[in-house]
A and B are shown apart, each in its own frame.
Chain A
Amino acid sequence: MMETIFSNFALIIGTTLMYSTPLIYTSLGGVLAENSGVINIGLEGMMIIGAFAGATLGYFVGNPWIAFIGAGVAGGIYGLLHAVACVSFGANQVVSGIAINFLGIGVALFLSRMFFEGATMTKSIPLDFKMPRPLNGVFPDGSFLNIILDNQYATVYVALIFVLLIWFFLYKTKYGLRLRSVGEHPTAADTLGINVIRIRYFAVIMSGVMAGFGGAAMSLAIVSNFRPTLISGHGFIALAAMIFGKWKPQGALLACLLFGGSQGLAVFLGQFNFEISSQLISMLPYVITIVVLIGFVGKSAAPAADGIPYEKEHKY
C-alpha cells in the first residue's frame, strides 16, 4: 500500500517535470525581456519557430543537440524582429507581440510545407536521434528516483540549470544589474552611460532564444515532430507563469511547476476509471491558477518601465 502511494507520487513528480520543462525555458525568456522593459507577448510565436526548427533540424541533421541549439538560434533571430520593432522603432509592444505570434505559425507551417512535401507536420525524428535520457537505467527499477528520473530527457536538467544561470546573471553580475536598471528606469541608466538600446536588444533576442529552446523541448523530447497544434497556448501559459512568478526566474520556475504539476495530476488521474471526466481534470491547472491568483495578496511587481518604449530625446 505504502509502496503504491510512493510510486504514484513519484509518477506525478515525473510527469510534472516533463510537462513543466518547455514552459520553464519560455517563461525564463519572458523574465529576461520584461526585466529589461520590453513586454513579450510573442513568446508563443517564438516557441513555435523553435519547435519547428528543432524538429526539422533533428530530422535532417540527426543530432539532438545541434537541433536544440539550432532551435535557440532560430528563436533568437526571430526575437530580433520583435527587438527591432520595440527597441528601435518604439512599437506598441503588445501589438508587435501579437504580430509575432501570427507570423510564427505562418512561417513555421509555410516552411514545413516547403521542406516536407506539402505537409504541415514534420517527419518524425527516429528514436535514436531524440533527446537523450541521461539517467535512464541508473537507478534500480521501480525505485522512487527511478520512477521520477528514468524517462526524463536531458532538456529537463538543462532547464533547471538555466533557472540557476539566469538567476545568477540577473542578481549577481554587473550585466544583470544593468539589465534590471534599464527595465526599472531607462533614463536613469542612460544618464550613467548604460546603453539602453543594446541591453534591450540583448534581452529580447535572448528571450527568443529561450522560447526557441522551450519549443524544441517540446518537439525534440516530449514528442518527436512538429505539427500545427503542437504549441497551442503554451507560450501564453509561460507568459502567465512569468507574471505569476512576479517577473523572477525562481518565481517563474515555481509557477511553471504548478502548471506542469496540475497537468501531471490530470494525466495521472486520467489513468483510472473515475467518475470524473478527463476533460474536467484537464481544466484543473487553469482553475487552480485563477484560484491562486485570487488568493494571492500583494501587488504585482512588474518592472516600472515594462512596456514603455524608450526614446532618448523625449521632452520632459
Chain B
Amino acid sequence: MGYKDKAKSLTKVIEMKNITKKFGNFVANDSVNLDVFKGKVHALLGENGAGKSTLMNILYGLYSPTSGEILINGKKVDITNPNIAIEHGIGMVHQHFMLIKPFTVAQNIILGREPTSKFSVLNMKKAIKDVKEISERYGLYVDPNAKIEDISVSMQQRVEILKALYRGAEILILDEPTAVLTPQEIVELIQIIKNLTKEGKSIILISHKLKEIIAAADFCLIIRRGKHIDTVVVSETDEKGLASKMVGREVIFNVPKEDKKAGDEIFSIKDLVVKDNRGIVAVDNLNLSVKKGEILGLAGIDGNGQTELLEAITGLRKVESGEIKINGEDITNNTPFQIINKKISHIPEDRQKRGLILDFDISENMILENYHNYPFAKRGVLQYNNIKKYAKELINKFDVRPREESKLTGTLSGGNQQKVIIAREVTNDPDLLIAAQPTRGLDVGAIEFVHQSLIEQRNNDKAVFLISFELDEVMNVSDRIAVIYEGKIVGIVNAKEAKIEELGLMMAGGGSK
C-alpha cells in the first residue's frame, strides 16, 4: 500500500503546496509539497542545507514564501508571523534552542503569553502553577525556577516542547531534536513523541538521522537541494532506501580503511584538571594517550568537557593540574604559539570562530600559523608573491573552490572553509593532528573528504585525535575509542569490537571501566 492510499483514510491538518523560497539568487525551497495528518509523525529528511529548516520556518511564519500556499484544516492561511502560526496551533522546537539563558524556565515558557495581574504586572505565582500543570500532564519534568543556563540540554529541550504546549500547540515541529541527546535520551524522546501523538497531536520531525526516522515516524518527506524528491511510508522502506533518496546515490556507510599496527605512544595526558568559564571543574583527572599511526576517537555528549580538554591541550585554556606531553616534552600551560611549534595541529570545533579569519582571503588564512616565517615574511615584511604561490598550491591540492586565493574565506561554503583549514593544518606536517567536530554541518561529499584526510595522516604514521559528538563518525573512523563523561574517560575500547549500546551506556555515565 503506497503513500497515496494510506493518506486517503487520514485527516489532513496541514497542506503545504508548491512552496518556493528564494534568498536572492539562492533557491532554498523549490516547489515542495508537504501534508501532515492528525495524530501522526511526519518526518522531513534531507542533508544539511537541503532546505528542511527553511520550509519549517515558512510554516512557522519566520520566513514568507516566494510562492506557494498553506492550508490548515482545509482552510487557506497566510502565516506572516509566528503569532499567526501559534494561533493556528503550530509550535516549533528549533534546532538551536530559542531560550533566553539568564531567564528562568517559567519565564521562558510564558514569554509572550504572560499571566498578569493589574497594570501588566507579572503574576509569577500563576505562571509557575501553569507550568507545573502542563509539565505533569505530558510527563515532561522541569524545574520552573531554575535558570536556563544552569540546566541540562535535555531539560532545555523539554522546556522548548512545553513552550509550544503552553501555547496550545496541536502541531509540533521538532527540528533535529536528537542532535544533542544521548542514545538513552533519544529513546525517551521517542517515547514523549508517542505520548503526544496519542493525545492527538501531530508531529513534524526534521532529521538527517535515518535510524530515528525509522523508529519514530509514520511518513517521510525527502528533500534534496531544496527540491521535493518523494514522500514515503516509513514502514515500507529501510535505511538504505531513505539514504539513497536523500543523497541521490548509493551511500557507503563505512569508510574504507586498511588495518594498521599502531606505533609508539607520542602524546599523553596525565591527571588533567581544567575548569570551565564558570570556574567549575570540567575536565576531572583525565588520562589519555595517542600512538603514532592511530586515530583515537573521543565519543561523548556535548558538554562533558570536550571543549575544555581541547582548549587545554592547545594552550587556549589554563590547566589547573596534571601534565600534557608530546614527544616526551611537557607542554602543560604552554602558549598556543609554543604548542604549534611542538608540531601539534588542530582543526577547531568552530571553524568560523576559531579556525578562520573570515575577513581575510584564502591566502592569508593559509599562513595563519606561519605568516612570520620565511618564505612568507622577510625581516618583518610580508612576501605576498610567496604567500600567493603557496596558497595556489594548497588550493589545487585540496580542491578548494573557488580556486581564487584572493577570495575572502567568509564567502566560501562550509565545506570549502573546512578544506582551507585542513589544507593548512595538514600541510604543517604535525606529529599530532587534533580534529574537533571536523564534519559538523558538511554535506556527504565533504564529509568523505575530511575522513579520508584523517585516515591519510594516520597511514603516514602520524597520530590523530578525533573529537566528535557523532557516534557513527567516531565508530567509523577511529582505531580506538575513548568515551568521556563528566570530564573523565569512562572507558576505552577497540573500534572494531565496539558496540553502539555499550558506548551509549558509557556516554550516559552508566559504563564500567
Contact = CB atoms under 8 A, between A and B. Distances in A.
**A–B direct touch in complex (beta carbons closer than 8 A):** yes
Contacts of A194: 111-112
Interface in A188-210: 188-194
Contacts of A188: 98-100
Interface stretch (B81-89, B183-191, B294-302): B81-89
A27 B82 CA distance: 34
A150 interface: no
B62 A312 contact: yes
A191 B100 contact: no
Interface string B460-472: 0000000000000
Nearest to B83: A193
Interface of B is mostly: loop
Contacts of B102: 184
Interface in B251-288: none
Interface in A160-205: 172-175, 177-178, 180-181, 184-185, 187-194
A315 B63 CA distance: 10
B101 A193 contact: no
A184 B120 contact: no
Interface centre among B63, B112, B116, B121 (most CB of A within 10 A): B112
A107 B348 CA distance: 51
A3 interface: no
B23 interface: yes
Contacts of A184: 100-103
A180 B63 CA distance: 24
A193 B99 contact: no
A191 B99 CA distance: 10
B346 interface: no
B83 A181 contact: no
Interface in A37-90: none
A193 B107 contact: no
B116 A315 contact: no
Contact of B111 (A172, A177, A313): A177
B60 interface: yes
B114 interface: yes
A205 B239 CA distance: 56
Contact of B82 (A173, A177, A191, A316): A191
A174 B86 CA distance: 19
Given A174-B114, A181-B100, A181-B111, A193 B63 contact: no
Contacts of A178: 111-112
A187 B111 contact: no
Nearest to A315: B23
Interface in B288-343: none
A223 B37 CA distance: 72
Contacts of B224: none
Nearest to B112: A192
Contacts of A177: 103, 107, 111, 114, 122
A316 B96 CA distance: 10
A181 B119 CA distance: 20
Q: How large is the interface on A (under 10, 10 to 19, 20 to 34, 35 or more residues)?
A: 20 to 34
Nearest to A169: B120
B163 interface: yes
Contacts of A135: none
Contact of B120 (A175, A193, A304, A316): A175
Given A174-B114, A187-B98, A312-B62, A192 B121 contact: no
A181 B23 CA distance: 27
Nearest to A187: B98
Contacts of B120: 173-175
A173 B115 CA distance: 10
Contacts of B98: 185, 187-188, 191-192
A181 B114 contact: no
A190 to B, nearest CB: 6
Given A184-B101, A188-B99, A312-B62, A193 B82 contact: yes
Interface in A9-57: none
Contacts, number: 71
B234 interface: no
Contacts of B122: 172-174, 177
Nearest to B94: A191
A258 B23 CA distance: 51
Contacts of A313: 23, 62-63
Contacts of B94: 191
Contact of A193 (B28, B86, B96, B103): B86
A181 B102 CA distance: 9
A193 B87 CA distance: 10
Interface in B339-395: none
A178 B100 CA distance: 11
A191 B100 CA distance: 12
Given A172-B121, A174-B116, A184-B101, A189 B62 contact: no
A178 B102 CA distance: 13
A189 B112 contact: yes
A304 B62 contact: no
Nearest to A168: B121
Given A173-B120, A173-B121, A178-B112, A304 B101 contact: yes
Given A173-B121, A177-B111, A192 B62 contact: no
Contact of A191 (B23, B28, B92, B101): B92
Contacts of B82: 190-193
Given A191-B62, A193-B83, A193-B112, A185 B99 contact: yes
B368 to A, nearest CB: 26
A270 B96 CA distance: 58
Contacts of A312: 62
Nearest to A188: B98
Nearest to B109: A192
Contacts of B163: 192
Contacts of B113: 192
Interface in B65-118: 81-83, 86, 92, 94, 96, 98-103, 107, 111-114, 116
A190 B81 CA distance: 8
A118 B94 CA distance: 61
B146 to A, nearest CB: 17
A305 to B, nearest CB: 10
A149 B116 CA distance: 38
Interface in A278-299: none
A173 B96 CA distance: 28
Contacts of B111: 177-178, 181, 189, 192, 194
19 contacts: A172-B122, A173-B119, A173-B121, A177-B107, A177-B114, A177-B122, A180-B100, A181-B111, A184-B101, A184-B102, A188-B100, A191-B60, A191-B62, A191-B82, A191-B92, A192-B111, A192-B112, A192-B163, A194-B112
Given A189-B111, A313-B62, A313-B63, 20 more contacts: A173-B119, A173-B120, A173-B122, A174-B114, A174-B122, A177-B111, A180-B100, A181-B103, A181-B111, A185-B98, A187-B98, A189-B100, A190-B81, A191-B82, A191-B98, A192-B113, A193-B82, A193-B83, A194-B111, A312-B62
| Top 9 closest pairs, chain A to chain B, by CB | A193-B83, A192-B112, A188-B98, A174-B114, A184-B100, A193-B82, A173-B120, A185-B100, A174-B120
Interface of B: 23, 28, 60, 62-63, 81-83, 86, 92, 94, 96, 98-103, 107, 111-114, 116, 119-122, 163
Interface of A: 172-175, 177-178, 180-181, 184-185, 187-194, 304, 312-313, 315-316
